[in-house]
Amino acid sequence: MMKLEGKIALVTGGSSGIGLAVARRFVQEGAQVFITGRRETQLADAVTRIGGQIEAISGDLTNASDLARLFETLNTRAGRLDILVNASGVAEHASLEETSEEHFYRAFNLNVRAMVFTVQNAVRYMGEGGAIVLIGSIAGRMANPGYATYSASKAAVRAYARTWSTELAPFGIRVNTLSPGPTDTPMFDQVSDEVRETLSAQIPAKRLGNPAEIAAAALFLASDESTYVSGAELVIDGGMSA
């Protein structure tokens, strides 16, 4: 039996990278999947590439009107929500000296603010057995020179997940954080081979992660195989943070 058969899932940032891999795996496991993002062409391409029970709803999660429309549309098409995977995020380099208000706002607006209100909306359509998976990062627990703002935003993700796991427990909704290490997503397309090699050398597994490996971990946290797991952080990083 497929692990998500009959489930309704929403994957934010589902048109590329980790979000795309999660959406694909969830469809393979029997879920009806909705993906969202700002780029309509990229969303349409993702739907075509994955096939099966998947639909795209375009929108900007940092925009309250778009967020409301997202959940109104989802409710009209599916009537409920069983799983939310929040995979939207942005990472930009800036030293302390280079950090501007605009840089700070971009990171926290999408990585934290949008996540908070996405979850707030999502739980209105969830019932007993609901599962929320927030994509964090090992950057939230490690020194990451040049990425302090990104790291702080991902530490906030972990903090929210812990508190929400307690707040939502009476409703039968689980909340967990999935924290990948360096993963071979489009974010690394512009990275030189030298940087890739240097980064890989710091990882005991001696390679970057594969989005499909992160998706497999997301499947565990979203499925009934993890019904006693809530408030946890699952680290998938080839041993890097150890």
- 134, 175 Cβ separation under 8 angstroms: yes
CB crowding 206-239: b at 16 or more within 10 Å, else e? eebbebeebbebbbebbbeebeeebbbbbbbbbe
Task: Please count the other Cβ atoms lying within 10 Å of the Cβ belonging to residue 49.
Answer: 12
**CA-wise closest residue to 12 among 44, 41, 34, 40:** 34
**CA-wise closest residue to 184 among 202, 154, 207, 205:** 207
DSSP state of 38: S
For the sheet with 8-12, list strands across it.
54-58, 32-37, 8-12, 83-86, 131-135, 174-180, 233-236
Catalytic residue among 125, 147, 150, 160: 150
**Known catalytic residue: 160?**
no
Residues in the chain: 242
* Residue listed under structure tokens 């689980």: 174
Kindly state the tokens that stand for 4.
């998500």
DSSP state of 135: E
- 163, 122 Cβ separation under 8 angstroms: no
Catalytic residues: 150
